[in-house]
Amino acid sequence: MSNIKENKEIYIRLFKLLKPYFKKISLIFVCIIASAGINMLIPLLSKQIMDNGLLAKNFTVVVKFSILTLAIVLIEQAIGLLETKYFSYVNSLFQYSLLKGAFKHLQRLKLQYFNNTNFSEIMGNIGMDVGNISRVCDKGTFIIISQVFRIIGGLIGLLLIDWRLTLVVLFVAPARYFIVNSLAKKRKAMFKEFLEYNRDFSSWYGDTISGIKEIKLSGIDRIKTGEFIKKQRKIVKMNIKMAFLDKFNEYSESVVFQGISSALYILGAYMAFRNELTIGGLFAFLTYSAYVIGPISAILNIGYNFSNIIPSAKRFFEFLDMETEIEVKRETNARAIDNEVPGDITFENVSFSYKEGEQILNKINLNIKAGEKIAVIGANGSGKSTLINLLLRFYKPQEGKILLDGTDINDIKLRDYRGLISVVSQDLYLFNTTIEKNISIGSKADNTVINKAAVRSGAYDFIKDMPLKYKSEVGRNGSRLSGGQRQKIAMARAFARQSKILILDEATANYDVESEAYVNKMLTTDFKDSTVLVISHKPDILTKVDKIWLVHAGSIQEYLSFGDLKNNSLVYKELLVEEKRVG
C-alpha cells in the first residue's frame, strides 16, 4: 500500500512539472483528436471503393473516393506537422527545465554532498534520471495516450459493421492486461537494481579517474581493469535480462494479436460466405480492429514503459529534496547587506563536530574587529579549515552562533554575505576559460581593475609574456599554468573583488620568497582596511598580524603577537618540532 502511495506522489510531482506546458499539450491533443477523427474515415472510404466501386465496376465511384481519400491524407499530414511542432517544443523545454532545476539545486547543496559524491556519479545520476523522466512527454507517450481516441473511433466503426466480431476484438484487453501487469512489476524491480549498479559504477569510475596518477605510479592498472570488468559484468547481465523481458513482452503481444486476427479472419470469412457480411465490410472491420487492438495494447504498455521512469523519478526527487545550505523560510526573511558594513565578527560558544563524539571545535568564543589581521595556526586536522568553513557558511555550528556586526550570519542573505568575502587557498580552482574571466569571477571588474589586480598580485609578470595576454586560456583547473602562477591568478581575483573580508589559506605556498614578501607586505597596505584571516605558520606573516589563534584540542588560544606565541605556547613549540621532523 505504501508503494502505491509513493508512486501516486511521484505521479503528482511529475504532473506539476508538466503544468507549465499544459497549453501546448492541449494543442497537441487537439491535433491528435482531429487526426484520429479524420483517420477513422479512411476505412469507410475504402469500403465504398471496394463494394460500390471495384466490385460494382463503377469507375466514377473509384475516382471520386480515391481523390477524397488523398485529400483526407493531406489534411491529416498537415495536422501531423503542427502536432510535431508543439511536441518538439514541450519535449525540449521539459528536459531543459529538469536539467536547469537540477543544476540550480546542485549549486545550493551543502558542501558535504560534494565531499561524499564524485563528479562522475553526479553527472551519471542526473543524466540518466532526466533522460528517463523526460520520456513522460516524448512522442511515444503522447501517441499512446492519443490511442484512446483511436479506440473510441475504432469501436464505433466496429459496432457499425458487426457487434459480434467486436466482442472478439475486446478480448484482447484482459489478456494483455494480465501479461503486461505481471511483466511491469518484474521490469521495475530490475531497473531499480540497474540504477544502483550504474550509481555504484559511476562512483567507482569517478574515483578511479581522479586517482589515475596514483594508479600509474602504483602499477595497479590490471587490478583496476579487473574491478571494471566485475562492475560492468553486473550492468551487462542486467541489460540482457531487461532486453529479454522487453522481447518477451513484444512476443506475448504478437501472439495475442495474431490469435485475435486469426479468429477474426475465420469468423469474418464464415459470415461473408453466409452473406452476413460484405467483402468490403470484412476488410473495413479488419482495419478498424487494428485501430482498437494496437491502441489497447499500447495503453496497457504504459505501465511497462513507466517501469523505467518511476525509479528514476524517485531518485531525482530525492535529489531535489536534499537539504540545501539555504533555509528557504529563513532566507526569505534574511537581511540584505552591502559592502559598506563595518565587518566585526564574533564567535559565540561555537561547537562543531563532523561525527558524533569527535568534537572539532568546543564552545569557541572569539572576536575580530573590522580591519584586524588574524593568523590561524595549528596541526593538521586541528580544526583550522573547519573554522574557516563555518565562517563561510559551508557548515553550521551545532551549538552557538557566528555574528557579523551583531547579526547571526545565517540571518543574512547568503549571496550578500559571501559577497563580503574573498578566499585564496592552496586548493584553489581555476575555470577552463581566459585569465581575464578567472580574475573577474564574482566581481564586476573592468579591464583597468583586472590589470591593477594582476600587477598587485604579481600575476602580470608572466601574463605580459603570454601571446594573448589576458585572453589566454588557462586550461582545466589552470593546467597550462604553474602552481605559483595559478595562485597569483587567485590572488588577483581577491584584489579585483575588493572584499571586506579576506581569507588566505596557505595562499602563498607556491610563491617564491620575493613574491611572498611582497604579498605579505600588502596585508598592511592594500588590505589595511580589510579584515584578514591567514592560515599560515610562516614567521614572516605571523609578525605582521594583530593576533594569532592557535587551534588545538577543540579550543582556540589567542596570542597578541608572534613574540607572545613563541614565549608562552608549548603547543606551538611542539608544532615547530613536528614540522622540522616531517620536513
Q: How far apart are CA 470 and CA 409, in angstroms?
A: 36
What pLDDT is attached to residue 1? 43
Q: What residue spans in the chain does CATH classification 1.20.1560.10 cover? A: 19-320
CB 399 within 8 A of CB 363: yes
Amino acid at 158: L
Sign of CA dihedral 110, 425, 549, 416: negative
Sign of CA dihedral 58, 63, 64, 66: positive
What pLDDT is attached to residue 207? 78
How many beta carbons lie within 10 A of that of residue 547, not counting itself? 19
Q: What residue spans in the chain does CATH classification 3.40.50.300 cover? A: 345-582
553 grid coordinates: 584540542
Instruction: Give the residue among 332, 353, 493, 496 at the shortest CA–CA distance from 414.
Output: 332
Q: Which residue, chain included where needed, has cell 479488419?
A: 286
Sheet with strand 399-404: strands edge to edge: 358-368, 345-355, 399-404, 407-408
Residue 368's SS3 state is strand
Instruction: Give the residue among 116, 129, 125, 121 at the shortest CA–CA distance from 14.
Output: 129
Class of the CATH domain delimited by 19-320: mainly alpha
pLDDT along the chain (583 residues), means of 10: 68 84 82 75 72 75 79 81 81 86 85 78 83 77 66 64 64 70 79 83 79 71 83 88 83 75 71 68 66 67 71 86 73 65 82 81 87 85 85 88 87 83 81 85 81 86 87 84 83 83 76 68 74 82 84 83 79 70 57
What pLDDT is attached to residue 421? 85
Q: Which residue, chain included where needed, has cell 528536459?
A: 95
Residue 580's SS3 state is helix
Q: CA end-to-end span of the chain, whole Å?
A: 63
H or E stretch including 424? strand 421-425
Cβ neighbors of 84 (< 8 A, separation 6 or more) are 139
For 324-355, the DSSP string reads: BSS-HHHHHTPBP--TTS---EEEEEEEEEEE
Rounded to an integer, what is the distance from CA 579 to the centroid of its chain?
A: 43
How many beta carbons lie within 10 A of that of residue 511, not counting itself? 20
Q: How far apart are CA 439 and CA 492, in angstroms?
A: 6
Does the pTM surpass 0.75? The reply is no
How many beta carbons lie within 10 A of that of residue 266, not counting itself? 11
Q: How far apart are CA 276 and CA 267, in angstroms?
A: 11
Q: How far apart are CA 467 and CA 1, in angstroms?
A: 68
What pLDDT is attached to residue 334? 65
276 to 83, 86, 282: CA distances (angstroms): 41, 45, 10
Helices 279-320 & 172-210, crossing angle to 10 degrees? Answer: 40
> Which CATH fold would you assign to the domain 345-582?
Rossmann fold (3.40.50)
Kindly give the pairing relationship between strand 421-425 and strand 501-505: parallel
How many beta carbons lie within 10 A of that of residue 283, not counting itself? 16
Cβ neighbors of 175 (< 8 A, separation 6 or more) are 256
CB 368 within 8 A of CB 421: no
